[in-house]
């Protein structure tokens, strides 16, 4: 049996101290669980998701929390 190669991903920036980072939610459509990731951009979120090494990537969808959420009545300002 061949040995598995361990790959260590080094983040381009320190994402643990982000002040204006975004929250990405990865939703597994098969087992209905969510993984929340704080990241600086889509690529960083995907890198962090890949660290989890989930088996079936096609079972996951990704969502982004926007800075401004729709609240109140539609015509309310």
pLDDT score recorded for residue 57: 87
- What is the distance between the alpha carbons of residues 34 and 12, in angstroms, rounded to a whole number? 25
Radius of gyration in angstroms for the set of CA atoms belonging to the chain, rounded to a whole number: 16
The pTM of this model reads: 0.61
Domain limits, the chain:
18-64
pLDDT score recorded for residue 68: 66
Residue 38's H or E segment, with its range, is strand 33-39
Share of residues in the chain with pLDDT > 90 (%): 35
pLDDT tens digits, one per residue of 27-53: 999 999 999 998 888 888 999 999 999
Higher pLDDT, 14 or 57: 57
Report the length, in residues, of the chain.
77
- What is the distance between the alpha carbons of residues 63 and 28, in angstroms, rounded to a whole number? 11
What are the tokens at 28? 């597994």
């Amino acid at each position: 049996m061949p040995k598995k190669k361990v790959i260590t991903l080094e983040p381009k920036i320190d994402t643990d101290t982000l002040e204006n980072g975004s929250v990405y939610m990865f939703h597994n459509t098969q087992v209905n669980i969510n993984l929340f990731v704080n990241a600086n951009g889509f690529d960083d979120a995907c890198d962090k998701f890949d660290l989890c090494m989930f088996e079936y990537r096609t079972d996951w969808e990704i969502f982004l929390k926007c800075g401004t959420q729709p609240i109140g009545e539609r015509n309310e300002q």
